[in-house]
Amino acid sequence: MSTLANRAKHILAAIALIGAGLAWFFVGRVEKRVSQLERRHPSLDGEGEVTLNVTQVQEAEDGASAEVSPATVFERLTVLGFTSEVVVMDNQPNGKNQATKTFTVEIPRNTTHVIPTIQGFASAFGRITDHADGTFRFQVNDHHLGLEVKHIAVTAIEDTTATLEATMLLRDINGDDQWTGFMHVLLLFLGR
């Protein structure tokens, strides 16, 4: 073998050795970083338990239906109008309990059904720092997501108003972190 070929062989061996050393160094750094992240935010599979009532129509304390919109309607109804609302769940201290907001909207006369839908939402660990003019600014914290709940229900329909209840929850495994959020709700008014 010529000296040139021998030198090339040694140079390639040196490059391979340097590459292996760099790979070992970077893998070690990645392992160290993952270990640091696990210490800061441990993955606790299966720990922590949260119970939610997810029945379609919940009952009020007196036994009456708390949600007034029926699950199924088989009759001809007319669309009387629609509107949208933004419901802000201001900065919540922790995720131990669901946050609930009740709000009232004006409805057209002869409304018999109000169909609420969630058109969009945002929730985050941290807090909303500003929400002027429909623009939301969040100060966000890094946490594992354990459970997220969004629910909107019609609780009363009167002659010219309807009352709705919006519920949200965001929590990690222990539920001790501050959170915030909003939901954009579209309301469809139906009648005969």
Q: What is the DSSP string of the chain?
A: --HHHHHHHHHHHHHHHHHHHHHHHHHHHHHHHHHHHHHHS---TT---------SSPBPTTSSBS--S-S---S--EEEEEEEEEEEEEEES-SSS-EEEEEEEE--TTEEEEEEEEEEEEEEEEEEEE-GGG--EEEE------EEEEEEEEEEE-SSEEEEEEEEEEE-SS--S-EEEEEEEEEEEEE-
Res 167: pLDDT: 92
Sign of CA dihedral 149, 155, 160, 161: negative
The β-bridge partners of 100 are: 167
Q: Does domain 78-191 have CATH number 2.40.50?
A: no
Cα separation values, 28 from 15, 25, 114, Å: 20, 5, 59
79 token code pair = 């669309």
In this prediction, residue 50 carries a pLDDT of 59
pLDDT score for 65 = 44
Cβ atoms of 148 and 125 closer than 8 Å? no
Q: Per residue of the chain (192 residues), what is the pLDDT tens digit?
A: 678 777 877 787 778 778 777 777 777 776 777 666 666 555 555 555 656 555 444 444 444 445 676 667 788 899 999 999 999 888 888 888 889 999 999 999 999 999 999 999 988 888 888 777 777 777 787 877 888 889 999 999 999 999 999 999 988 888 888 888 889 999 999 998
**Token pair for 74:** 């088989």
Cα 80 versus chain centre, distance: 31
- Nearest CA to 124 among 140, 110, 109? 140
Place of tokens 């002869």: 110
Q: Where are the domains of the chain?
A: 1-40, 78-191
What tokens were used for 13? Answer: 């061996």
pLDDT of 188: 95
pTM recorded for the entire structure: 0.65
